[in-house]
Amino acid sequence: MEMFGKERLMASFQEKKGESPQETVNQIVEEVALFAEGCPQHDDLTLIVLNVK
């Protein structure tokens, strides 16, 4: 019953440097689903990824 958390999310973003925004979103959504292990989600999941150059 642990939250994915800000630290885990930031670490996940760091691992995905160089990926396209869409690939980053897809991978993080998958990571969150695996982390939840089928537990019901109590809130929405919203991600916005910008590619800033």
pLDDT in tens, 4-14: 999 999 999 99
What is the distance between the alpha carbons of residues 36 and 30, in angstroms, rounded to a whole number?
10
Q: What is the pLDDT of residue 30?
A: 93
pTM of the predicted model, to two decimals? Answer: 0.79
Residue 28 pLDDT grade (very low, low, confident, very high; cuts 50, 70, 90): very high
Q: What is the mean pLDDT of the chain?
A: 89
Phi and psi at residue 32, to the nearest 5°: -65, -40
Q: 24: how many CB neighbours lie within 10 A of its CB?
A: 19
For helices 21-36 and 6-15, give the axis angle rounded to 10 degrees.
140
Is it the case that residue 53 has pLDDT exceeding 80? Answer: no
User: Which two tokens mark 43?
Assistant: 């809130």
**How far, in Å, are 21, 42, 50, 53 from residue 18 at the CA level?**
9, 31, 12, 11
What average pLDDT score do residues 21-42 get? 90
Q: What is the pLDDT of residue 13?
A: 92
